[in-house]
Chain A
Amino acid sequence: MSKPYEVLSLDNLARIPVDEGLEWRPIRRRLGIRSFGTNAYTSERVGGWVVEEHVEGTGHEELYVVVSGRARFTLDGEELDAPAGTVVFLPEREHRRPLLLGHGLSPHVVLTLGGWPDKPFEPSAWEWYFEASEEGPERAMEIIRDGIAELGERPWLVYELARHEARAGLVDEARAHLRQAVEGEPRAAERARADEHLAELLP
């Protein structure tokens, strides 16, 4: 039986490198939170990313809280200096979603929170991709299979499974999963063309 409560510090959180110095510090997955998404981000260096460049296209609303240090957000090209205590909200009701990017300007922690208005929370598949990204192919496949067990055969999870299968030399399995991913999400083919492990498996 899981404990009725849990306490941890930032130092207890895994530190998973993503891109441009960005470190994902998974909170929701670590604690098993089921009603909202939440993660912390740090950067391995001053000036590194603290929020990856992205546009939300899923109807997800997001709240960013600068917990310590100072960050600079870029929202549709507009720069925003954000010292500790700054709260940035990107509502779902704004259909024009800004292109968001954050840089850490000093040792810092940014807490993110997210969810969907009017529907129950479901975890995002990227949590599993990020966790698998630094692992060897066998462990990465295990992580992605856990994601599929929890979320179902979402095309991008199946795509990631194909990628790690290809890394492991499981060519037939990788080819079949890549085909399945592209059937569910045609953009997966474009991504696969640029992937050193998957490009040659495309029909």
Chain B
Amino acid sequence: MTRGWEVAGLEEIVGPRSRHGFDWHPVRRHFEISSFGANANAAREAGDVVVDEHDEAHGDGGQEELYVVLRGRALFVVDGEEVEAPAGTFVFLRDPAVRRGATALEPGTVVFAVGGRPGQAFVPSSWEHARFAVELSERGDNEGAVRVMEEALAERPDHAGVLYDLACFEALAGRRDAALEHLRRSIELDPQYRDYARDDEDFAPVRDDPEFQALVAT
């Protein structure tokens, strides 16, 4: 009989190391939490990024976020203001448009992040898939990266960012037709992806293809 709870230490919840330089502990994904987003980011050294600079108005958009410093000390920069945050500090961002980011001031700093969209049932953010896909791609497994993004697309079939990321990994995997079709659909949904694709190295394998050239032409 399945027990009605699951338990793990943060160190047992292991995800890819973020390209921003922190160890990512994908708590939501580990437990398959389906009502809010939850992740922990751990810095190895002082000076490491522990929350990548971003806002929540772009991408999936609209999230309010709560950051809790679990260990160590972090320097948040929120809306251009610096906030020193020792363990036990809560930083809540109700406005998705506010830029936010943090660096560790001590080795071993851990920041726990929680998010959701007011008035909406929770949907996992597409970047969770993309982060796993990037790790696979960096290890040379572009087919694996495509599979991860296909899972993301099944959850969000009309998400321009997911379609774009899928197209990137398909291009790298040598799947020319699928890459161009998904890129075309992404640009239809959000024309900014035309500009991104023009200089994106992931499309190097199809860069000289006339169909790609036509898609990215202004």
A residues sitting closer than 8 Å to B (CB atoms) are 2-11, 27, 31-36, 38, 60-61, 63, 65, 67-68, 75-76, 78, 80, 82-92, 94, 96-98, 100, 109, 111, 113-121
Contacts and interface: CB of A to CB of B under 8 A. Distances in A.
B80 to A, nearest CB: 11
Contacts of B1: 96
B34 to A, nearest CB: 4
Most buried by B among A78, A82, A117: A117
B164 to A, nearest CB: 26
B188 interface: no
A81 B100 CA distance: 35
B183 to A, nearest CB: 32
Contact of B98 (A4, A91, A118, A119): A4
A100 B3 CA distance: 13
Contacts of A11: 88
A98 B89 CA distance: 31
Interface residues of B, number: 55
Contacts of A97: 4
Contacts of A63: 27, 31, 33, 38
A67 B92 CA distance: 17
B119 A5 contact: no
B178 to A, nearest CB: 31
Contacts of A115: 35-36, 116, 122
B169 interface: no
A26 B143 CA distance: 46
A158 B68 CA distance: 34
A67 B17 CA distance: 22
Interface of B: 1-11, 13, 27, 31-36, 38, 63-64, 66, 68, 70-71, 76, 78-79, 83, 85-95, 97-98, 100, 110, 112, 114-122
12 contacts: A5-B94, A8-B90, A10-B90, A33-B92, A36-B35, A87-B7, A98-B4, A111-B112, A116-B121, A119-B121, A120-B120, A121-B116
Residue of A5, A11, A65, A121 contacting most chain B CB atoms (<10 Å): A5
A90 B4 contact: yes
Contacts of B115: 35-36
Given A91-B6, A92-B34, A34 B114 contact: no
A73 to B, nearest CB: 8
Given A87-B7, A94-B4, A115-B36, A9 B93 contact: no
A117 B64 contact: no
Contacts of B31: 63, 87, 89, 91
A116 B33 CA distance: 10
Contacts of A65: 70, 112
Contact of A33 (B13, B64, B79, B91): B64
Nearest to A35: B116
Given A63-B38, A94-B5, 12 more contacts: A5-B78, A36-B115, A75-B4, A83-B9, A87-B7, A91-B4, A98-B5, A111-B112, A113-B38, A117-B121, A121-B116, A121-B118
A77 B86 CA distance: 36
Contacts of B100: 5
Contact of B8 (A5, A10, A67, A87): A87
Count chain B CB atoms within 10 A of each CB in A32, A65, A82 and give the residue with the most: A65
Given A76-B4, A115-B35, A87 B93 contact: no
Given A87-B27, A90-B4, A9 B118 contact: no
Contact of B91 (A5, A76, A80, A90): A5
- The 4 tightest CB contacts between A and B, nearest first, are A35-B116, A115-B35, A4-B95, A34-B118
Contacts of A90: 4-5
